[in-house]
Amino acid sequence: MPKLPVAEVSLREKGDQHWQVLLDKDGIIGPDGKVINATSIVNGGRRLNAVLDTGFSLTQVPRQIADAIYGRIPGATFGAVGRGVGETWKFPCDVEVNLTFLIGGVKYPIHPLDTSLDWSENGNSFCIGSVSALLCSCPCVI
């Protein structure tokens, strides 16, 4: 893979480091193959910032992006789930959710197994989106 330019390195505590890069214009392609329109509050809104954090289980994005990903799935609903997860997208597990990020002119497809989690609650089985909605307009965390 080509070397990506780092937009910013944030060091809060010793050993707590995240890499930040800029997504390309129209840098998120949703499960239907269409671009997800999103703007950033950073850098004049032209390009989305992405914080690369391999130490966190879920991909965190602003709510508008999570809605654009999972809201296109027939039968998907946004609501509360238990065990400390809170509100997230729920949908049938037979749906394959494809997602692609464009960074530095390179497409980075996310495997469908990394975009959903099997879930069971009150005797009901369903999937939840592992690309979770932040409750703020923060940069994306990939």
- In the sheet that holds 140-141, the strands lie side by side as 8-13, 16-22, 49-52, 140-141, 59-62, 131-134
Residues of the chain where predicted confidence (pLDDT) is lower than 70: 5-18, 41-46, 54-56, 134-142
Look at residue 82 in the predicted model and tell me its pLDDT.
83
pLDDT at 28: 93
Q: How far is residue 103's CA from residue 63's CA, in Å, rounded to a whole number?
A: 21
The model's pTM: 0.79
Q: What is the pLDDT of residue 97?
A: 94
70 within 8 A of 79, measured Cβ to Cβ: no
Through-space distance between the first and last CA atoms of the chain, rounded to whole angstroms: 17
Report the C-alpha gap between 31 and 67 in whole angstroms: 12
Structural element, H or E, at residue 116? strand 116-121
Q: CA-to-CA distance for 132 and 83, rounded, in angstroms?
A: 15
Domain ranges of the chain: 8-77+99-114+131-141
